[in-house]
Amino acid sequence: MIKVHDVDAVVIQQVDRLSRDTVGLLVTIRNWLRIGIEVYALDIGKIENELDIALFIKGWQGSEELKIIRERSMRGKELKHAKDMS
């Protein structure tokens, strides 16, 4: 719907639900704003500019959380593998 400009606004629950990649997040928001789509995030409000500091911080926090999730998953897999081998 966005590609065919059939959307006036996008509302997201939290910034990190849109993307956990900071650059991808900022590019997506910039592209939407440039074609006239209003963007709202319930955790920070209306986004007026892709350089909004709150948007950047939330995006960065999401990318850091993704790293933590990956690390936890790898530790769990390694632990399971070690248990299976013993």
22 vs 6: CA distance, rounded Å: 26
Q: Domains in the chain: how many in total?
A: 1
Q: Determine the structural domain holding residue 65 and report its residue range.
A: 9-85
Asked if residue 44 is part of any domain, the answer here is yes
Question: How many C-beta neighbours within 10 Å does residue 33 have?
Answer: 15
What's the confidence (pLDDT) of residue 41? 92
| 45-47 vs 9-12, strand pairing mode | unpaired
Per-residue pLDDT tens over the stretch 30-85: 999 999 999 999 989 999 988 788 888 887 777 777 777 778 888 888 778 777 87
CATH of the domain at 68: 3.40.50.1390
The answer to whether residues 2 and 11 touch, using CB atoms and an 8 Å cutoff, is no
Question: With 90 as the cut, is the pLDDT of residue 10 above it?
Answer: yes
